[in-house]
Amino acid sequence: MNNPHPAGLKDLVARQIPRRYRAEWLFEKAGLGALVVGLGFLAFFFYTLVMNGYTAFWQSRIALDVPLTAAVIDPDGTRDVDLIGQANYQGLLRDALRTRFPEVTARGELRSLFALLSPGASFELRDRVLTDPSVIGSAVEFWAVADDDVDMLIKGHSSRDVPESDRRLSDQQLAWIDALQADGAVEKRFNRAFFTSGDSRDPELAGIWSATVGSFFMLLVTLVLSFPLGVATAIYLEEFAARSRWTDLIEVNINNLAAVPSIVFGLLGLALFINLFGMPRSAPLVGGLVLSLMTLPVIIIASRAALTAVPPSIREAALGVGASKMQMVLHHVLPLAMPGMLTGAIIGMARALGESAPLLMIGMVAFIVDTPQSPVDPATALPVQVYLWADSPERAFVERTSAAILVLLVFLLLMNAVAVILRKRFEQRF
């Protein structure tokens, strides 16, 4: 047989080989470069979040010896919870401060002395007395929550080296704080309130609990509505519907719907659920309905993909031994497709958890202090809480914003981790 290659071709290929290797090397390195750039941004994002946010998990407190005078708290000695709850705890805290700094007597000076403590300190003192009424009559050491300006100073977020007029704290207040610090009466302690309380305009009292509960109710409604509906739609389209122009049209529309900007769903929710059905504003029920609309296409697409991944042999075998079509789907196809469907659902839910734009229209971008008790109570969501804090003038909200983002990221990470674990554990390859 003759040489099939013309003589010049071999040379040509030989000449091209180094160039091809070079191109391949460049291609690979470009991919790596893209990855490094992406990871770099991510690392920067996490770095700034953690550096800004970690301090919010601690809160400065000031130790005071508070005399829990029986005459103030429970004058009749009845230990009646209602009466004890209404006592003037702020007065007790102020007395304790005056005892600590007996030289302060002028009214204005007292005002700035009392400003070292957060308005929330008296509520904590009340709760402490209510949980253990036996302390009434004795003096206790009470670690009172410090005001946010004091907190920022202690954490080094605000500077003391600027003229007095440019500071939130006066020279005198700084001297008091220094004196307290010299006594070891100022300490940073774990900020439990951040996890257990609702929103507040005093940064030192603000927490993410009510927003977390709001997000939970919303996701619950979303899951209950969109998962069964999504799975049922996917099963119908994959297993029952004959391919026709109509199913093609539906498919295109579902794929389109998955890409619609989320604010549009908010507008739809406002028009449909609130204006037409008269549902309450700011309620997680409406939020959940809106997010269901948004999540449905994602779940349908993922569920259909999971169903197509089940090999036809399974279906044929089931039908072959006499199973009805419904038995085939419920007993054989669905169990095999479930991990994929759940993964899709969880990823859809994670996206819903991070959503804030559609909630603006239905009134969930709101100041909510009380923890919602049901899906129809007014509530807000975690990403909305982040947004509201980011817009607050008080400096102490800066670290709290970052801390709330960190908590939100932890939730998202957990959800995505569950999706990965489900897939790894239950996935079957054919």
Partner 1 sequence: MKRIINELTVQLRIAVFASMVFMAVGSAQAQSARDYISIVGSSTVYPFATVVAERFGRSSSFRTPTIESTGSGGGLKLFCSGVGVQYPDITNSSRRIRASELSDCTSNGIDEVVEVKIGYDGIVLANDKSAPVYDVTPADIYLALAKNVPAPDGSNAVVPNPYEFWSEINPDLPNARIEVLGPPPTSGTRDAFLELVMEPGCGAFAVIKALSGDARDAVCQEMREDGPFIEAGENDNLIVQKLQANPRSLGIFGFSFLDQNADKVRGSLVNGIEPTFDSIADGSYPVSRPLYFYVKGAHVDFIPGMREFLGEFMSEAATGEYGYLSDKGLIPLPDDERAAVETSVRELKPLTSADFSH
Chain positions contacting partner 1, by CB under 8 A? 123, 158-159, 162, 165-168, 200-202, 225, 228-229, 232, 236, 240, 273-274, 277-283, 285-286, 324-326, 360, 363, 365-370, 376, 378, 388, 390-395, 398
Q: How far apart are CA 115 and CA 96, in angstroms?
A: 14
Least separation in angstroms between CB 276 and partner 1? 10
Least separation in angstroms between CB 325 and partner 1? 5
Least separation in angstroms between CB 376 and partner 1? 4
CB 389 within 8 A of CB 397: yes
Least separation in angstroms between CB 352 and partner 1? 17
> Measured from the CB atom, is 128 or 395 closer to partner 1?
395
> Measured from the CB atom, is 203 or 297 closer to partner 1?
203
Least separation in angstroms between CB 144 and partner 1? 17
Least separation in angstroms between CB 211 and partner 1? 13
Least separation in angstroms between CB 199 and partner 1? 8
> Measured from the CB atom, is 253 or 324 closer to partner 1?
324
> Measured from the CB atom, is 395 or 423 closer to partner 1?
395
Nearest to 129 by CA among 95, 172, 88: 88
Q: How far apart are CA 326 and CA 147, in angstroms?
A: 64
Least separation in angstroms between CB 373 and partner 1? 11
Nearest to 168 by CA among 158, 155, 177, 178: 158
Least separation in angstroms between CB 271 and partner 1? 13
Q: How far apart are CA 30 and CA 44, in angstroms?
A: 21
Least separation in angstroms between CB 200 and partner 1? 6
Pairing of strands 186-190, 139-145: unpaired
Beta-carbon contacts of residue 236 (< 8 Å; ≥ 6 apart)? none
Least separation in angstroms between CB 249 and partner 1? 20
Nearest to 390 by CA among 305, 382, 326, 247: 382
Q: How far apart are CA 68 and CA 137, in angstroms?
A: 5
Q: How far apart are CA 168 and CA 262, in angstroms?
A: 41
Identity (one letter) of the amino acid at 371? T
> Measured from the CB atom, is 250 or 415 closer to partner 1?
250
Helices 284-308 and 209-235, axial angle in degrees (round to 10): 40
CA dihedral 318, 319, 322, 325 (to 10 degrees): 100
Phi, psi for 326 (deg, rounded to 5): -65, -40
Tokens 């009134």 sit on residue: 363
Identity (one letter) of the amino acid at 261? P
Using the CB atoms, write b or e for 386-399: b if 16+ within 10 Å: bbbbeeeebebbbb
> Measured from the CB atom, is 215 or 422 closer to partner 1?
215
> Measured from the CB atom, is 82 or 141 closer to partner 1?
82
CA dihedral 297, 299, 304, 305 (to 10 degrees): 110
> Measured from the CB atom, is 187 or 202 closer to partner 1?
202
> Measured from the CB atom, is 211 or 350 closer to partner 1?
211
> Measured from the CB atom, is 290 or 350 closer to partner 1?
290
> Measured from the CB atom, is 138 or 159 closer to partner 1?
159
Q: How far apart are CA 63 and CA 185, in angstroms?
A: 5
Task: Kindly list the distances between the CA atom of residue 183 and the CA atoms of 62, 64, 71, 127, 179, in Å, as whole numbers in the listed order.
Answer: 10, 11, 29, 26, 7
